[in-house]
């Protein structure tokens, strides 16, 4: 009995469970998030740039399998080269590996997977993906290019904690000798102005001293007003053309033979063309001092109400005349970190006791 070994029990974690535990996203899950927000025009432009800058090479291409000759030069193996030529002649009638239609991705996720297959994107290198998104001026997608799982934000118009308005009402109730009657008179259905005025006159007649105290306490309320906490939210609004791929296909062309020089040349030309067609970016810094209004603004941003409201402001008749027959779209971006930081700041200010 003593010689028997006890079985070793260990718990194996699935990849998704492990990533969930550490607050991370898998690379392919990040591809789904970013790819689902790419439009068909974005996919066409990115696939064009990807095909021009990083041409597809079949993994069985003999150029990738070399053998050292006696002279010291690396040459493809002759037997492998002959087999490759026979296979290529037999499959040329069925499909063309260099055909743009064959290599064109069906959606944004497939495009990003193709970027990974070509060795241009992995968990430790998002440089090429970020570069391509900047060429498209899709800066609203840059925060999503990360394997860090975003924290869940569930904004509501009515917060769980008290609002700044409730704190002001608490101060008024401390100065008011009869708050219950006052609230009933102010909010009673059908009450007229004379009734409210009469109630106010009776209060002033019974206790005239609070009137002098209120005047005397006016300077002491200025520090509270001066220490009013506000948070800043940065709103980015951009108007851009909807179909840039047609302009790029007509304007971008490189005759350089070196692959690296050709890549930089195509990128430089694409960047110049897109900058010349840039309709501008507007940055608005908005200040909020009430938590309920901040949550309402964030809710409108998430459900698209803010975007619809801003269309009538930025897409004007003069803009339509300047762009001519080309269609435009409005992009609105609000940083989630700004919202969370502002919400935390206002909640901390509300939780502080008043002196």
Q: Are residues 188 and 267 in the same domain?
A: no
Q: Are residues 170 and 277 in the same domain?
A: no
Residue 159 covered by a domain: no
CA 355 – CA 18 distance, rounded (Å): 48
Distances (CA, A) of 123 to 17, 111, 119, 131, 195: 18, 16, 11, 16, 70
Q: Are residues 104 and 187 in the same domain?
A: no
Residue 235 covered by a domain: yes
The residue among 226, 255, 271 that closes a domain is 226
- Greatest CA separation found in the chain? 114
In the three-class reduction of DSSP (H, G, I as helix; E, B as strand; rest coil), residue 126 is classed as: coil
Distances (CA, A) of 71 to 62, 68, 74, 77, 79: 19, 8, 9, 15, 19
Q: Are residues 321 and 210 in the same domain?
A: no
pLDDT band at 238 (very low <50, low <70, confident <90, very high): confident
Residue 90 covered by a domain: no
Per the structure, how many domains does the chain have? 3
Residue 11 has pLDDT above 70, yes or no: no
pLDDT band at 196 (very low <50, low <70, confident <90, very high): very low
- The residues, any chain, with a CB within 8 Å of residue 247's CB and separated by 6 or more, are 241, 273, 277
Residue 123 covered by a domain: yes
Question: Per residue in 322-338, pLDDT tens?
Answer: 888 788 888 888 888 88
335 — phi, psi (to 5°)? Answer: -75, 125
Q: Are residues 206 and 319 in the same domain?
A: no
Residue 322 covered by a domain: yes
Q: Are residues 118 and 186 in the same domain?
A: no
Q: Are residues 17 and 146 in the same domain?
A: yes
Give the CATH number of the domain where residue 103 resides.
1.10.533.10
CB-based contact 197:171 (threshold 8 Å): no
Residue 319 covered by a domain: yes
Residue 3 covered by a domain: no
Residue 249 corresponds to which tokens in the numbers above? 């296909």
Q: Are residues 247 and 297 in the same domain?
A: yes
Q: Are residues 283 and 267 in the same domain?
A: yes
- Top pLDDT among 80 and 127 is at 127
Q: What is the pLDDT of residue 162?
A: 43
**pTM attached to this predicted model:** 0.40
Q: Are residues 324 and 261 in the same domain?
A: yes
Residue 144 covered by a domain: yes
The residue among 226, 250, 273 that closes a domain is 226
Question: What residues form DSSP beta bridges with 74?
Answer: 68
Least confident of 11-20, 99-108, 186-195, 282-291: 186-195
Least confident of 23-27, 122-126, 213-217: 213-217
Mean pLDDT of 32-57: 79
**Domain range enclosing 292:** 231-351
Residue 156 has pLDDT above 60, yes or no: no
How many beta carbons lie within 10 A of that of residue 252, not counting itself? 20
Q: How many CA atoms lie within 13 A of 120 on its CB side?
A: 19
Q: Are residues 277 and 333 in the same domain?
A: yes
Q: Are residues 313 and 193 in the same domain?
A: no
């Amino acid at each position: 009995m003593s010689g028997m070994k006890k079985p070793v029990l260990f718990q194996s974690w699935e990849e998704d469970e492990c990533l969930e535990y550490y607050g991370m996203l898998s690379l392919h899950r990040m591809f789904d998030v970013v790819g689902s927000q790419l439009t068909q025009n974005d996919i066409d432009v990115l696939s064009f740039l990807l095909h021009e800058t990083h041409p597809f090479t079949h993994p069985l291409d003999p150029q990738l399998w070399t053998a050292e000759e006696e002279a010291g030069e690396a040459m493809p193996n002759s037997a492998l080269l002959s087999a490759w030529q026979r296979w290529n002649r037999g499959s040329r009638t069925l499909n063309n590996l260099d055909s743009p239609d064959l290599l064109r991705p069906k959606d944004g996720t497939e495009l990003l997977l193709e970027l990974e297959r070509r060795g241009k994107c992995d968990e430790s290198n998002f440089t090429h993906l970020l570069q391509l998104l900047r060429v498209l001026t899709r800066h609203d997608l840059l925060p999503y290019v990360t394997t860090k799982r975003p924290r869940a934000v569930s904004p509501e118009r009515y917060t769980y904690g008290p609002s700044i308005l409730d704190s002001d009402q608490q101060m008024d109730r401390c100065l008011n000798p009869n708050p219950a009657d006052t609230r009933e008179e102010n909010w009673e259905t059908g009450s007229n102005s004379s009734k409210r005025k009469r109630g106010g006159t009776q209060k002033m007649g019974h206790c005239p001293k609070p009137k002098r105290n209120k005047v005397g306490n006016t300077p002491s309320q200025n520090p509270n007003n001066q220490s009013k906490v506000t948070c800043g939210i940065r709103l980015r609004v951009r108007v851009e053309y909807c179909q840039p791929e047609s302009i790029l296909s007509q304007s971008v062309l490189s005759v350089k033979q070196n692959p690296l020089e050709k890549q930089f040349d195509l990128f430089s030309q694409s960047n110049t063309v897109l900058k010349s067609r840039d309709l501008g970016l507007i940055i608005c810094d908005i200040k909020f001092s009430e938590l309920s209004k901040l949550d309402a603004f964030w809710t409108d941003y998430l459900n698209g109400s803010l975007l619809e409201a801003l269309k009538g402001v930025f897409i004007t008749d003069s803009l339509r005349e300047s762009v001519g027959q080309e269609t435009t779209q409005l992009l609105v971006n609000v940083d989630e970190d700004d919202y969370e930081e502002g919400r935390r700041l206002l909640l901390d200010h509300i939780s502080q006791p008043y002196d």
